[in-house]
Amino acid sequence: MATCSTILTGPNLASAGGAPTPSAPIPRLDWSRCVLGSEFDCATARVPLDYDDPGGPTIELAVVRRKAADPGRRVGTLFFNPGGPGGPGTVQMPQNYESFPREVRERFDIISWDPRGIGNSTAVNCFGSPEEAADWNAKTPAGFPVGKKERAAFTAAYEELGRRCEQRAPELVRHVSTADTARDLDQLRQAVGDQQLAYYGISYGTYLGATYANLFPGRVRAMVLDGNWDPRAWTNNASDQVAQTASFQRLGSGRSAAKTVNRFLTLCGSATTARCAFSAGSPEATQNKYDQLLRRLRKDPVGPWTYAGTVAAVVNSLYVVQPGATELADTLQDLWERRVPEPSPLPPPPPVPNPNPYLGEEQSTAIFCGDSPNPRDPGMYHTLAEAAAARSGDTGRFWIWATAGCASWPAVAEDRYRGPWNKPTAHPILVVGNTYDPSTPHSAAQAMAQELADARLLTHEAVGHTALLNPSNCVQAHVSRYLIDGTLPPPGATCRQDTPLFSPPKPSGGVATGGGGTAGIIT
């Protein structure tokens, strides 16, 4: 993979300054089949590294497209961001293409891209070789650090990562902000010839969407924000004070994850072991069994399965609950019986040139540490994590430690956007939130709908992270109508998951859906 130094071109960087952003040349997209026989097209867009210096260094964005299945009824282009930060769209859009409502696939070209700094685009890579990256990864524990020794090793590892990135990618790490990516998105919109933007963003992609909507409010045609980040919480209310709280703490991820795990255990305990292998016959007994398992793993891991690694696996398994919840129940039962679980099969690689790009920890870290304030004292994270555990249990620890690498991160984004979030948009925005989400709480969807100038909230009574990846016909019908002709759901609209966890399967009614993988733990 080319490092940033081999792709950046042009004179020395100009300082960001505060002047209005000059116009940049519209990138040219020369589409070709991603690989022989693929139904996806690939292209590369070249955009400025720094939009305050549009004639200066440039970077490359890897872009993927699936053309409208019914071109005679084509509406336009729908841009998709799969979250993260750090989700490679060139991989995850093809993986999750079937999850989009059938009418949307028929009537829109669907385009995604690897955001700047990520994957197949000009990527933040702070290691000289895959072996160096693997050696660094071995220094960090699975899930989060437990005990003084692991916390010290964790802190030292991220201090090393910060030094490496400052040495190997100093310019790039200062220009991978969400605002920079929103400007890239507007460049891509112009490149395909759309006058206004149609957009579907999940998880972190909701924050990207909200940023775009407030940087370019007149260019919003339709925008679905699914699995939301509260932008005021993420930016710490645009405070210039050193943060005393962690990003996902402000977002409420630990509490939401605890609520979701409890829901999983309740539904598992209400089912037979034929439906949920971990069931102990009742919700209370199953909760007690889970708590006992985690206490046991603290003292006696099962092979590589530690307490913290298991907590992380529980949270991640509840992102896509069909089949994640059933696989999680099998895993927990294996651990209960002191068997090392078999790894879950990975989704098949999509038909793109590089379906397994380098996605090192430094890529997502560069984005969220540059965008979102976090404590700079490494010692604070243990205190915050234990306080979160007192409120939310084990998932509280998991989500506090998720941004602890920011304590020693060397860069703040030069072009952050921190609000306001209520600029009137050309058209209203549709906000979708699941009630049991292990990452983004329903309260964040409520906050997003309130903070945007003109938005409608659709509540999805469901377990899982985002409605796109945990679909219901009801949500898909609302999303299709909104994207195609602008019709919003009625105020207060609520949908339910087609197939509740551990219930007997039943036909879903003709809308083809499908799952896919996620890159990393933060989406």
pLDDT on residue 508? 45
**Could you give the CA distance from residue 249 to residue 192 in angstroms, rounded to a whole number?**
39
pLDDT on residue 345? 84
**Could you give the CA distance from residue 405 to residue 363 in angstroms, rounded to a whole number?**
12
Digit-by-digit pLDDT tens for the chain (523 residues) are 333 333 333 333 333 333 345 689 999 999 999 999 999 999 999 999 999 999 999 999 999 999 999 999 999 999 999 999 999 999 999 999 999 999 999 999 999 999 999 999 999 999 999 999 999 999 999 999 999 999 999 999 999 999 999 999 999 999 999 999 999 999 999 999 999 999 999 999 999 999 999 999 999 999 999 999 999 999 999 999 999 999 999 999 999 999 999 999 999 999 999 999 999 999 999 999 999 999 999 999 999 999 999 999 999 999 999 999 999 999 999 999 999 999 888 888 999 999 999 999 999 999 999 999 999 999 999 999 999 999 999 999 999 999 999 999 999 999 999 999 999 999 999 999 999 999 999 999 999 999 999 999 999 999 999 999 999 999 999 999 999 999 999 999 999 999 999 987 665 443 333 333 333 334 4
What DSSP assignment string belongs to 14-65? PP--SSPPPP-PPPP---EESSTT-S-EEEEEEEES-TTSTTS-EEEEEEEE
AA identity, residue 494: T
**Could you give the CA distance from residue 489 to residue 455 in angstroms, rounded to a whole number?**
11
* 3-class SS string, 224-260: EEECCCCHHHHCHHHCCCCCCCCHHHHHCHHHHHHHH
Tokens of 80: 């998709």
Query: Which residues, in sequence order, are CB contacts of 20 under 8 Å at separation 6+?
Result: none
Please say whether the beta carbons of 381 and 246 come within 8 A: yes
Burial (CB < 10 A; 0-12, 13-18, 19+), residue 342, is exposed
Three-state SS at 100: coil
Residue of 466, 458, 462 whose CA lies nearest to 440: 466
- pTM of the predicted model, to two decimals? 0.92
The reply to whether omega before 57 is within 30° of 0 (cis) is no
Three-state SS at 108: strand
Residue of 199, 201, 196 whose CA lies nearest to 225: 201
Tokens of 124: 């933040």
What burial letters (b/e) apply to 316-326, b meaning 16+ CB within 10 Å? bbbbbbbebbb
Query: Which residues, in sequence order, are CB contacts of 523 under 8 Å at separation 6+?
Result: 82, 83, 84, 87, 202, 203, 204, 227, 319, 439, 465
pLDDT on residue 131? 96
pLDDT on residue 21? 54
**Could you give the CA distance from residue 486 to residue 428 in angstroms, rounded to a whole number?**
8
What letter would DSSP give residue 271? Answer: S
AA identity, residue 114: D
**Could you give the CA distance from residue 141 to residue 56 in angstroms, rounded to a whole number?**
40
**Could you give the CA distance from residue 431 to residue 452 in angstroms, rounded to a whole number?**
10
What letter would DSSP give residue 372? Answer: S
